[in-house]
Structure 1
């Protein structure tokens, strides 16, 4: 590679780092003026080289509808619904036990306390997740589905089990997610973490409240949450609807 090209790339990288650093400093010193706050957030967001990958509204609809059409796919439908409804991470979902979600009477809880989650300190604060009512209604059906399929409903039993009655693994879940993307007719391949990105983007899109989105995402710093102010795949598609071509 020519030295001139190398120098240009290094300079571009240094510029990006400098912009991100300045934006972060500005964000830490947010003033009370709302306009200034929004300007700072968007300035920081646009220094991000790789925006989060998210599902479009159409892709979300197709994924949930297709996986919900088949009894054999109901387990995956619930997993996708949990991810989109709570923004829980892949390993957090797979670590769930029956007792984490359901009380002694088989009723889905409104708030669940995670036992396994991403830790940033040795003594992290409790991680509480609120389950939307639509998701709780689906979980009630899933409880009956597990009972009808002979799966254990003991409090310590895995919530999501494989056909061999073992806890579903991350590899198995990723393969299932890719399979359902194909069945739903996706024209691209997304990773499971895109569901978390989509959930957080959905909350920010509806509320335009970065602090609320931070709480939903369970981020320690809202600087991490600012990535969801970046234009989503859905925003890009809508912008191109009337594109002359």
Structure 2
């Protein structure tokens, strides 16, 4: 006996077949996600110096995101502050030097005087504020993000000088680098949370020698890209 299908059944089958044959029709939940999911967990660390509560903290490495301790996180902050102080001191020293006594060169060059392998950039907020209702038992929120950072230079430099800096730097210069992943953060009831990324750069500072006129100090920063192609840096949550 042959089965009979009603009009509604025929329409349902036709739509299903059409969906399979049409690449543009993909359910939102079936869209590809980044391979790694970073579980930031619940509030872990309270910083008595700043009054900020942090989640777990991860560093992007050649092997993917790896959790680091709060002590390592604070040490990285201190290292960044020291690097900024070192850069400021070097720039003041270079500005105070009598560079006008250096003879002009036939072709302009950049001579690197300072190289910092890991220079921490400003923390970037990569999520909106996420509120967990007081009536709930807590909220576990999963979301994907992508962040791209680009090269930067001392203000006022023209393109030709920037090119000399990128060529004269003692490392493989990157014009941009991107990080992307999916995170899970657990927020207690009645609290608010957000996710942040601290990008890493490589810093070069030195002296630009023009064909005419006096040499002067210049600098540039290149986003630190891992061999995986990902932007190096830290990911963490702030909960308040």
- TM surpasses 0.5: no
TM-score between the two structures when normalised by the length of structure 1: 0.23
> Which structure features the higher share of helix residues?
1
Q: Which has the larger radius of gyration?
A: 2
